[in-house]
Amino acid sequence: MTEQLQHATPTGTDLAPFGRLITAERTGLTLADIPVDTLLTTTLSAKVLVLRGYSALDKADLEAYCRAAGELMEWEFGTIMDLVVQENPNNYLFDSGDVPFHWDGAWSEKAPRYFLFQCVQGCEPGAGGETVFCDTAQVYREAPDDLRELWGRTTVTYRTDRLAHYGGTMSHPLLATSPATGETVLRYAEPLDPASYRNPLFLTIEGLSSEDATRVMADLSERLHDPRYCYDHAWDTGDIVVAENHALLHGRNRFTGSTARHMQRIQII
């Protein structure tokens, strides 16, 4: 570990049911004081790493810091997305409602290994907007054998209009192997009902009978949201959160109060 993370460890806290919170021991430390390779190694072990008391970087410095760890996801807006609620968005990501589970880079040739959030402005207590992470490796380990057998035969085709920085049609096996840990994980994006979400997402299940496909879909809608597998992060201004993208799915709770939250997200391939 770096000197900074070593100094912070005594005030560190294991999060439930997974994750690690590291609080800077002294003032004046920034994200750049932690070598990015150490940051990512710690994140891989914890799955979600929360840093508090470390000053954020401006966009140019954040990009340079993350680029030292590998290739960055490039979008039409660049490498850093500003996540804010918009008044009349085309896509549900920028709405005030919930964001169902998904994984980053699903519509790209390469999915990122990690993604990092800087919270420019947090949420008022009780205002909602928490980011929810689901540990699908643990979901798989604790699933019954007959269900895992069904998952192993399942391929999901997704379809959505390209109204934001992603879209089209894609197919993915439900099960995958994490290239970082060798764990079996689930790759799944929850369907988005057009009656409830802008830019709806439609799913077709292949490889199963209609009866088994219905069972798998119904089970996933409950199992992935089981509190035993989910960590909800309530955002404070200044929070820096790094998440492992292969084992985890993530989403967002709907806002119930102020929607003034402002996040910056960057993805490392």
Between the alpha carbon of residue 49 and those of residues 42, 117, 152, 231, the distances in Å are: 7, 11, 30, 11
- Yes or no: say if 246 and 112 are a contact pair by the CB < 8 Å rule: no
- Closest C-alpha to 37, from 67, 10, 16: 67
φ/ψ of 265, rounded to 5, equals -125, 135
Residue 98, judged by CB atoms within 10 A of its CB (0-12, 13-18, 19+), counts as middle
- Antiparallel, parallel or unpaired: β 184-186 and 80-84: unpaired
Tens digits of residue pLDDT in 192-230: 999 999 899 999 999 999 999 999 999 999 999 999 999
Structure confidence at residue 104 (pLDDT): 95
For residue 6, name the pLDDT band (cuts at 50, 70, 90): very low
Structure confidence at residue 143 (pLDDT): 98
Structure confidence at residue 164 (pLDDT): 74
Strand-pair partners of 31: none
- Antiparallel, parallel or unpaired: β 80-84 and 262-268: antiparallel
Structure confidence at residue 175 (pLDDT): 98
- Yes or no: say if 108 and 247 are a contact pair by the CB < 8 Å rule: no
- Closest C-alpha to 251, from 129, 83, 155, 108: 129
- Identify the helix (H) or strand (E) that includes residue 148: helix 145-152
Q: How far apart are CA 19 and CA 43, in angstroms?
A: 8
Q: Taken in order 105, 35, 47, 252, is the CA torsion positive or negative?
A: negative
Between the alpha carbon of residue 92 and those of residues 36, 168, 204, the distances in Å are: 31, 16, 21
- Scored b (16 or more CB within 10 A) or e, 222-236 reads ebbeeeebbbebebe
ω into residue 17 within 30 of 0, thus cis? Answer: yes
DSSP 9: G
* Domains of the chain and any CATH numbers: 3-268 (3.60.130.10)
Structure confidence at residue 5 (pLDDT): 56
Backbone dihedral region of 107: left (phi > 0), alpha (psi from -120 to 50 degrees) or beta? alpha
Structure confidence at residue 160 (pLDDT): 95
Rg of the chain over Cα atoms, rounded to whole angstroms, equals 18
Q: What is the 3-state secondary structure (H, E, C) of 160-228?
A: ECCCCCCCEEEEEECEEECCCCCCEEECCCCCECCCCCCCCEEEEEECCCHHHHHHHHHHHHHHCCCHH
Q: At a CB cut-off of 8 Å and minimum separation 6, what does 117 contact?
A: 83, 131, 239, 240, 241, 242, 243, 263, 264, 265
Question: Does the pLDDT at position 96 exceed 70?
Answer: yes
Tens digits of residue pLDDT in 10-44: 358 999 999 999 999 899 999 999 999 999 999 99
